[in-house]
Amino acid sequence: MKNAAKVLPGVLVVIVAVGALVVTGWWATAQEGATSPQPEGTSGTDSTADGSAAVGEGTQYTAKILEGLRVQAEQAMAAGQYELATAQFLEAASAFTQANRAAEAVQLYDQAASAAKEFLISLDLSRWKDGQSAKLDSAKGNLRRALLGKTGLCRGAGDTQGTLRAIQQLRAEDPEYYRLREILPLQAELQGVDLAVLRAQEADAAQLSDQAKWAWKQGNSKSAGELADAAITQYPDTAGALLARKTKAGMLWRLKQYPEARTLYEDIMNRVGTIAPTCAVAREAASRIGWLESIRQIRQCMALCKEGRRPSVAQWKAAQEQVLTVMRWDQEAGTRAEAEVMQIEIYSWQGMSDEVIKHAAEFWGRYGDGSAAAIKTLHFERASAWAHVYVGRAFQSQGRWAEARAHFQAVIDAHTGKPDSWLAPDSLAAAYWYIWHGLRQSGGPAEEIRSIGDQIVTRFSNSSHAAIVRRAQTNARQ
């Protein structure tokens, strides 16, 4: 019997040389939430006289119809309509499959998976709205459907490596055991391993991973770490071990044990960064590594600036690329907001005042409407205050004193009810000083200059800003 595969609604049927292997359950689950309509008809496909494919008693796919389905999906993708593109690519893949054009169907399933992943990434998980949870479930269901469709076609074509790659993508995209167990028979057969052993390893690793996650939620970091380590060391290549790495890395991150967390995140990237670089586990790892690396590189550039040396354009660009990784991949709006302000800071250090003003306006447009969950946290509050600092400096560098003052006043207002060192040790003193300096440069009222100067000298007596004001006051009296 030749290898063959047919994709039926609700079932993935794989016929192999040694017999029939039916993988059910997960394929049916993958259909849940799928938004792509299926052409009506049976699974049988017959060739017509004009070269089109007839599906069952009705639907015929001419070359023109098939190409139209492909083109409309590609147009939706190009327009950034990822949810629509996913549905249309899935519809096209199904049509190409039933028209016996399997190689092109595999490509369309790949495109459907890409569109579904882009849609998942675009969902801001920190801004839940009505229907958002349903959209998330639908996107995940469509992603599974695309990868399972590809798995079936690769298996039917006798493409063992392609089938295994698709299985690996499935494992990375949705590593929960209850999703994986139905595909394990096919994986065991292709890898030549004992199915019972594979199932036992995956199940045990999943249990340890779940226990580690629960222990961490209960605040028991010691137990969580031990359980995660058990899954990782005993079953290193299982999906449960991947989730255990994610749990432990996230725990270490929250505990501010950044070097240890980074080691685990780098291990995750080594395992799934190539096979599924945009899966949720890889996105978290890339974002956290990017965050640490961007801070390291920005500090290196700042140190050079303070020494009177100019960092190269390449050095600034390298730091900015890491920041952009965080902005794109991190699932927490507060973290993305902070990363966006780091980008503004990079422009500020380079003296690119127009870019500072432009990107700050985009930042407040994105987060300043009060709807983002991040705004309720100190993360956003601090990020916004820093943005005001950089924009204030940018306006001052352009001689736009009144506009600069408004932003430094915003920094002062943000400190209301907080310690003077809330933003940074000298941040509040600096805000007052910039207003004082701007008034002097623009010929502001002498009384106001004197009043603000006195506040700086009295309130921030030990600061470098107070020393500058004192010298100016002394010179003015002489």
The pTM is what? 0.77
Question: d(Cα 9, Cα 139) in Å, to the nearest integer?
Answer: 18
Which pLDDT value is given to residue 181? 83
Residue whose token pair is 């290196």:
300
Helix (H) or strand (E) holding 61: strand 60-61
* Helix residue spans in 174-238 (DSSP H): 177-180, 184-191, 195-217, 221-234
pLDDT of residue 372: 47
Tokens of 257: 């044990």
How confident is the prediction along the chain (478 residues), in pLDDT tens digits per residue?
333 333 323 323 332 222 222 233 333 333 333 333 333 333 333 333 333 333 333 456 788 999 999 999 999 999 999 999 999 999 999 999 999 999 999 999 999 999 998 898 877 554 445 456 678 788 888 999 999 999 999 999 999 999 999 999 999 998 988 888 888 999 999 999 999 999 999 999 999 999 999 999 999 999 999 999 999 999 999 999 999 999 999 999 999 999 999 999 999 999 999 999 988 899 999 999 999 999 999 999 999 998 999 999 999 999 999 999 998 888 777 788 889 999 999 999 999 999 999 999 998 887 764 444 444 555 678 888 999 999 999 999 999 999 999 999 999 999 999 999 999 989 999 999 999 999 999 999 999 999 999 999 999 999 999 999 999 988 887 7
**Total residues belonging to the chain:** 478
Q: How far apart are CA 294 and CA 345, in angstroms?
A: 12
The residues near 372 (Cβ < 8 Å, ≥ 6 apart) are: 124, 126, 127, 333, 337, 366, 380
Q: What's the pLDDT score for residue 23? A: 33
Q: What is the pLDDT of residue 132?
A: 65
Instruction: Say if strands 53-55 and 4-8 run parallel, antiparallel, or are unpaired.
Output: unpaired
What pLDDT was estimated at residue 379? 67
State the pLDDT at residue 59. 55
Half-sphere exposure of 35 (CA within 13 A, CB side): 19
CA atoms within 13 A on the CB side of 8: 15
CA atoms within 13 A on the CB side of 139: 24
CB 323 within 8 A of CB 343: yes
Separation of alpha carbons 281 and 449, rounded Å: 54
How many Å is the Cα radius of gyration of the chain? Answer: 29
Q: How far apart are CA 435 and CA 429, in angstroms?
A: 10
